[in-house]
Amino acid sequence: MKYRLILTEKAMLDEMTAFQYYEGIRHGLGEKFLESLENRYAALSEHPGYYSYSDNNNTIRDVAVEGFPYLIIYEISGNAVVVFAV
């Protein structure tokens, strides 16, 4: 079953901020960040339960963005993956 991905406003702002930061370092690096992020989102849509819990209540999970020092913070809610922050 493929899960629907829902990005909160905070997560979208985090993405934009990181993109601008990396583009400021080197042209094209922001695009590389977004590509890594999209790859991880695709994996989350397929298998969100593969990744570890990051809270004591076992509801919030996190997963690293490959090649960048960022985590995607999310929760599985029914047939959706809700991304709270990047």
Q: What is the count of structural domains for the chain?
A: 1
The 10s digit of each residue's pLDDT in 17-72 is: 999 999 999 999 999 999 999 999 999 999 999 988 988 888 999 999 999 999 99
Which of the four pLDDT bands, split at 50, 70 and 90, describes residue 8?
very high
User: 52-83 burial, b for 16+ CB within 10 Å, e for fewer?
Assistant: eeeeeeeeebbbebeebebbbbbbbeeeebbb
Per-residue pLDDT, 58: 87
The two structure tokens encoding residue 18: 């990181």
DSSP 70: -
List the CATH number of the domain containing 62. 3.30.2310.20
Per-residue pLDDT, 39: 97
Contacts of 11-16 spanning 24+ positions with Cβ under 8 A:
11/72, 11/83, 11/84, 11/85, 11/86, 14/85, 14/86, 15/86
| Backbone φ and ψ of 70, nearest 5° | -130, 150
